[in-house]
Amino acid sequence: MTDYSPLHLEWPGCLNVRDLGGLPLTGGGTLRPRALVRSDSPSFLTDDGVTAATTYRLARVIDLRRPDEVERYPSPLADLHLPVQGPGDPIEGPWVHLYAGLLDRRPELFARAVAAVADAPEGPVLVHCAAGKDRTGLVVALALSLVGADPDAVAGDYEATNARLAPRYAAEADDREILPGRETPPTRQVIVGALEHLRTRYGSVEGYLTGAGLTPGHVRALRVRLVG
């Protein structure tokens, strides 16, 4: 287990915003600060929240939500809309099936999202979906794995979302529709299992992404951006 503690950012209206700077790498060193930020949807940012996000001088905001989500809950930030689901894609129940299904059905969309992190202008890149947990968790884990992030730290960062979203889940407990297999929040083993699925089926995370269109140039640029 690592002793890494993520930098949670206070953007009123969002519960799940953190800068991944300082996350440890397998071979030593850490991720650069103000390079990669993850969050839940900015749609509910207050005026103060918008100011806080704007003040962070984001170079790119990558919105992974479906078009219907964007239409229903527009974002006040200038998002680059790159959904990682296609129209009519099914939503599986258990977490492990959900993640494997997302990855296997749309590798080109995940590769496109990771490429958008790599080739963004200089400055912090924000990746978000609705809760900042599933789709964001996958894209962030893919990017972190490519640059050699410590696997335990990747898993811990993923699981940190549970505590951040707990107040929202408690408030919505009577109204939320819970699919079979999702009665409890996903543990770190869910993201570990998703990455292991890619290694088993595609040889590696990099093999999965480059087979779907990510170029060696993107991989190099991502490493420069996140590691230096």
The rounded distance, in Å, linking the Cα atoms of 140 and 46 is 25
Give the tokens for residue 176: 């939320």
Across the beta sheet with 18-19, the strand order is 7-8, 18-19, 36-39, 125-128, 60-63, 79-81
Q: Which long-range contacts (CB under 8 A, 24 or more apart) does 88-92 make?
A: 91/179, 92/181
Question: Is the Cβ–Cβ distance between 190 and 184 less than 8 Å?
Answer: no
Helix segments in the chain, DSSP class H: 47-55, 67-72, 95-105, 107-118, 135-146, 151-171, 188-202, 205-210, 216-226
- Catalytic residue, chosen from 103, 129, 198, 209, is 129
Verify whether residue 129 is a known catalytic residue: yes
Query: Which amino acid type is present at position 203?
Result: G
CA 223 to chain centre: 17
The rounded distance, in Å, linking the Cα atoms of 142 and 110 is 9
Active-site amino acid positions: 129
